[in-house]
């Protein structure tokens, strides 16, 4: 391999695309994940689009629902979202079918996006007077008839009706936490809202995943925040940290995810690994893995038992041969 920066980058890009092409076990049913944190600037949108692209590159069919009026997820995926484009606003307020809004994402096969337009900024007010205002997104997703493995919902940095719609529609909450001093500030209110929605509107809802973003391993602060978050949330926190990366920041300006913008970058590799962790956390996948591991352990045990029986038979045969030789020698001596 060419041991230069360009050579190393090329090698990393090849490894990244090979890793993406390996494929991952697909969930038994569609996993709806709500990416939420009312604190702004923690990497919600960046995490949503890059995890979605990573899962799609691993062979899954993924839909990104952009619920943020800023429409940054739509921009990052290169999807049109100007005022005349049918958007998630039309689905929530005008009851338009989701299938008339969803657009395929170029460059990433199996990835789709329901874009957000500026109209969504007024949806919070307009939803107040509508019937079943908290469950309009849930009904739209249930009526969507295209097969999907994952739905990732990018929430606005607030805890209003848009975020409540997402929490009612989803089963899992994914919380990005920035590795900075105020990382856990306001997180308590989000967790309380999750519990409220779970108690009154969506009993399936739970915090399944926490991902640490903007991690800078050179600073003691990042390590302290990571240690504190892992100590507080335990196994919900992914092992993979998303590093602070210029490539991750640059990619949206080209209408791309970091996976297609720079496949060999540290950010791209981190999101691929995070997506792998998330895919393997599916309870059905874990059950299948446990069953496979149990079967393998049983096969190994059977092979060991067969080997022990064979060794015992060989020892017995050797003893019989030895005894026969002794008897033969004794007979010759008596003659």
Tell me the per-residue pLDDT of 45-61, one tens digit each, with 9 for 90 and over: 999 999 999 999 999 99
Q: What is the Cα–Cα distance from 154 to 53, expressed in whole angstroms? A: 14
Q: Residue 6: is its pLDDT beyond 60?
A: no
Q: Residue 296: is its pLDDT beyond 90?
A: no
Domain 5-281 class in CATH: alpha beta
Please report which confidence band the pLDDT of residue 3 belongs to, taking 50, 70 and 90 as the band edges.
low
Structure tokens at 265: 């970058």
Q: Residue 112: is its pLDDT beyond 90?
A: yes
Q: What is the Cα–Cα distance from 234 to 197, expressed in whole angstroms? A: 23
Structure tokens at 223: 């390590």
Across 17-21, 59-63, 325-329, the highest mean pLDDT is recorded for 59-63
Tell me the per-residue pLDDT of 52-110, one tens digit each, with 9 for 90 and over: 999 999 999 999 999 999 999 999 999 998 888 999 999 999 999 999 999 999 889 99
Determine the average pLDDT of the residues in 20-24.
Answer: 62
Between 91 and 1, the higher pLDDT residue:
91
For the chain, how far is it from start to end, CA to CA, in angstroms?
A: 78
Domain boundaries, the chain: 5-281, 292-335
Query: Residue 5, CB half-sphere, CA atoms under 13 Å: how many?
Result: 1
pLDDT of residue 133: 92
Please report which confidence band the pLDDT of residue 303 belongs to, taking 50, 70 and 90 as the band edges.
confident
pTM for the model stands at 0.80
Q: What is the Cα–Cα distance from 58 to 35, expressed in whole angstroms? A: 20
- Contact predicate 69/120, CB 8 Å: yes
Q: What is the Cα–Cα distance from 274 to 50, expressed in whole angstroms? A: 10
Can you count the helices (H) and strands (E) in the chain? 13, 7
pLDDT of residue 1: 45
């Amino acid at each position: 391999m060419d041991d230069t920066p360009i050579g190393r980058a090329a090698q990393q890009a090849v490894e990244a695309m090979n890793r993406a092409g390996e494929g991952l076990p697909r969930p038994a049913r569609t996993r709806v994940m709500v990416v939420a944190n009312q604190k702004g600037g923690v990497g919600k949108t960046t995490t949503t689009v890059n995890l979605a692209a990573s899962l799609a590159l691993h062979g899954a069919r993924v839909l990104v629902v952009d619920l943020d009026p800023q429409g940054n997820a739509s921009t990052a995926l290169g999807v049109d979202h100007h005022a005349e484009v049918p958007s998630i606003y039309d689905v929530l307020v005008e009851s338009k079918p989701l299938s008339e809004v969803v657009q395929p994402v170029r460059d990433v096969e199996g990835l789709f996006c329901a874009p957000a337009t500026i109209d969504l900024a007024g949806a919070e007010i307009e939803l107040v007077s509508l019937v079943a205002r908290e469950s309009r997104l849930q009904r739209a997703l249930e009526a969507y008839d295209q097969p999907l493995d994952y739905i990732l919902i990018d929430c606005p940095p607030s805890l209003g009706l848009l975020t409540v719609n997402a929490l009612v529609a989803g089963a899992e909450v994914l919380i990005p936490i920035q590795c900075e001093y105020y990382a856990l500030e306001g997180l308590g209110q989000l967790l309380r809202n999750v519990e409220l929605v779970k108690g009154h509107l969506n009993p399936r809802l739970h915090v399944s995943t926490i991902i640490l973003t903007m991690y800078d391993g050179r600073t003691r602060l990042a390590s302290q925040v990571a240690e504190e978050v892992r100590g507080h949330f335990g196994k919900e926190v992914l092992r993979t940290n998303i590093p602070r990366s210029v490539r991750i920041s640059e990619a949206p300006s080209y209408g791309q995810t970091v996976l297609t913008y720079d496949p060999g970058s540290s950010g791209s590799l981190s999101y691929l690994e995070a997506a792998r962790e998330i895919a393997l956390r599916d309870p059905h996948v874990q059950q299948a893995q446990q069953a496979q591991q149990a079967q393998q352990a049983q096969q190994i045990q059977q092979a060991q038992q067969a080997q022990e029986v064979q060794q015992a038979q060989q020892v017995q045969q050797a003893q019989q041969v030895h005894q026969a030789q002794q008897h033969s020698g004794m007979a010759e001596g008596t003659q």
